[in-house]
Amino acid sequence: MRVLLRSARPYGEEPVDVALENGVIAAMAAPGTLPAGDLDVDATGLVLLPGLVDLHTHLREPGREDAETIETGTRAAALGGFTAVHAMANTQPVADTAGVVEMVWRRGVEAGHCDVHPVGAVTVGLAGEHLAELGAMADSAARVRVFSDDGICVSDPVIMRRALEYVKAFDGVIAQHAQEPRLTQGAQMNEGALSGVLGLAGWPAVAEEAIIARDVLLAAHVGSRVHICHLSTAGSVDIVRYAKSRGIDVTAEVTPHHLILTEDLAGTYDPVYKVNPPLRTETDVMAVREGLADGTIDAVATDHAPHAHEDKDCEWAAGAFGMLGLETALSVVVDTMVSHGRLDWRGVADRMSERPARIGRLADQGRPIAVGEPASLVLVDPGASWTVDPGRLASRSRNTPFAGRALPARVVATFLRGRPTVLDGVIA
């Protein structure tokens, strides 16, 4: 099938016609100069970006198919403009063997909405005690390169050191959920003046920052690379900036919700705002935006965390941690970064596609928009505005913190190796 995108603006720049054929970008030329395709898309005014890559997605399958499945989660991903997601390992059973990661990978291929790259657990059962068979997962059909106990911190410094060393053999990376467990026992929200007033146990910034500081030093010591999941505090940005200035091979991600929401929402005691790491202060929000703008933070990653209704329709302490993110991520980035001039569309492509693809070692994602490159692309209407309706999201769960909120920019179409996965804003 040959697809013609008429008058698309790559990276928001000058309009061109873009022809997609045989999975690659077959031609790019001045508007009106390329022959029609089997499918013609009028992309006038739309921004063309490389397909987005999420380093941090909870698809919940296997184990919690009531909250999300690989089918529903990847539909949500495609609608959000993603052509690849990294499926976190904290499923039931845990993705800590070649068997489980291959199953997840295959289900992703079958669903066909975007590439699904399983993340392998660092330790058996996420228990933090014994290394999982990282090599077997790397060598499996799923070709795992990102390993994480996400949800739980690899807190034992010796296990972390060994994991960092071990994955060097296959160019893997450890993605750390940075949370010192003893400092966050029973933690419910960001620790500060507000947690004291609300009587909710605090999750102090230092519990994140102390682990990041330790892990960048460990990565430097053993000559490996480390990736920091969902960095959320101003202090964490400083530490990563310092580590990068010292040449340490560290990368970091921030979630859309940490770019836009603050801890004040805990005052509603509505667990839809309960997330781990917690929403932080305005100062932290401004610092992570700054860090994302200057490249200290490499990527926006959704930490898309679907939860069944009953796990959120309860009192705060009983509520599960996590928020939906795939279908709102790009809009939040436009709202917080593009609209305010902190990032241009090249910057969005870099932080939401190119760098996350590099961190995950995905050879055919996050590529330049150029002839001969893979035709995994997204068309965005930058001027659109839409109101988030939880009932109309593709995710099986409804726990978006943006219900009723108007957000800018809308994904119009997504292409995975030349094949439309989303057209006119709906699953193709």
Partner 1 sequence: MRHLLSTSDLTRDEALLILDTAAELGRVTDRAVKKLPTLRGRTVVNLFFEDSTRTRISFEAAAKRLSADVITFSAKGSSVSKGESLKDTALTLEAMGADAVVVRHHASGAPYRLAHSGWVGCSVVNAGDGTHEHPTQALLDAFTLREHLRELEGRRVVIVGDVLHSRVARSNVALLSTLGAQVTLVAPPTLLPVGVDTWPCAVSYDLDAALEGADAVMMLRVQNERMNAAYFPSTHEYSRRYGLDTRRAALLADGAIVLHPGPMNRGMEISADVADGPRSVIVEQVTNGVSVRMAVLYLVLGARAEDSAGEASAAEAVSA
Catalytic residue IDs? 303
The distance of closest approach from Cβ of residue 264 to partner 1 in the complex, given in angstroms and rounded to an integer, is 14
Q: Single out the segment in contact with Zn ion by CB under 5 A; choices: 37-45, 173-181, 195-203, 321-329.
A: 173-181
Kindly tell me which residue out of 32, 35, 158, 197 binds partner 1, with binding defined by CB under 8 A.
Answer: 197
Of 390, 389, 379, the closest CA to residue 422 belongs to 379
Contact present, 348 and 333 (Cβ < 8 Å): yes
Contact present, 348 and 259 (Cβ < 8 Å): no
Q: How far apart are CA 378 and CA 2, in angstroms?
A: 16
Tell me if 304 contacts Zn ion by CB under 5 A.
no
Q: Identify what 177 binds: Zn ion, partner 1, none; CB under 5 to 8 Å per kind.
A: Zn ion
Please compute, for residue 376, the number of CA atoms within 13 A of its CA located in the half-sphere on the CB side.
Answer: 26
The distance of closest approach from Cβ of residue 406 to partner 1 in the complex, given in angstroms and rounded to an integer, is 23
Between the two ends of the chain, the Cα-to-Cα distance in Å is: 14
The number of beta carbons lying within 10 Å of the beta carbon of residue 406 is 11
Distance of CA 74 to the CA centre of its chain: 13
Q: Single out the segment in contact with partner 1 by CB under 8 A; choices: 107-115, 152-160, 211-219, 308-316.
A: 308-316
The alpha-carbon radius of gyration of the chain (Å, integer) is: 20
Q: Identify what 199 binds: Zn ion, partner 1, none; CB under 5 to 8 Å per kind.
A: partner 1
**In 327-362, which positions are buried (b, 16+ CB within 10 angstroms) versus exposed (e)?**
bbbbbbbbbbbbeeebbebebbbbbbbbbbbbbbbb
Of 310, 297, 200, 195, the closest CA to residue 256 belongs to 297
Residue with Cβ nearer Zn ion (20 or 178): 178
Residue at token pair 């800590």: 96
With 0-12 / 13-18 / 19 or more C-beta atoms within 10 angstroms meaning exposed / middle / buried, residue 206 is middle
Q: Dump strand ranges (E) for 89-188.
A: 115-118, 146-147, 173-176
Residue with Cβ nearer partner 1 (159 or 198): 198
Q: Single out the segment in contact with partner 1 by CB under 8 A; choices: 106-114, 156-164, 267-275, 337-345.
A: 267-275
Residue with Cβ nearer Zn ion (49 or 323): 323
Residue with Cβ nearer partner 1 (281 or 421): 281
Read off the tokens for 223: 């000559």
**In 126-135, which positions are buried (b, 16+ CB within 10 angstroms) versus exposed (e)?**
bebeebbbbb
Q: Identify what 202 binds: Zn ion, partner 1, none; CB under 5 to 8 Å per kind.
A: partner 1
Kindly tell me which residue out of 32, 35, 158, 199 binds partner 1, with binding defined by CB under 8 A.
Answer: 199
Kindly tell me which residue out of 32, 35, 158, 193 binds partner 1, with binding defined by CB under 8 A.
Answer: 193
Q: Identify what 313 binds: partner 1, Zn ion, none; CB under 5 to 8 Å per kind.
A: partner 1
Residue at token pair 């058996």: 124
Tell me if 317 contacts partner 1 by CB under 8 A.
yes
Kindly tell me which residue out of 222, 244, 286, 316 binds partner 1, with binding defined by CB under 8 A.
Answer: 316
Kindly tell me which residue out of 150, 180, 208, 381 binds Zn ion, with binding defined by CB under 5 A.
Answer: 150
Tell me if 344 contacts partner 1 by CB under 8 A.
no
Q: What is the dihedral of CA 53, 59, 62, 66, to 10 degrees?
A: -160
The distance of closest approach from Cβ of residue 265 to partner 1 in the complex, given in angstroms and rounded to an integer, is 12
Tell me if 205 contacts partner 1 by CB under 8 A.
no
Tell me if 12 contacts partner 1 by CB under 8 A.
no
The distance of closest approach from Cβ of residue 92 to Zn ion in the complex, given in angstroms and rounded to an integer, is 17
Tell me if 404 contacts partner 1 by CB under 8 A.
no
Summarize as ranges the residues that interact with partner 1 (CB under 8 A): 188, 191-202, 204, 268-270, 310, 313-318
Summarize as ranges the residues that interact with Zn ion (CB under 5 A): 150, 177
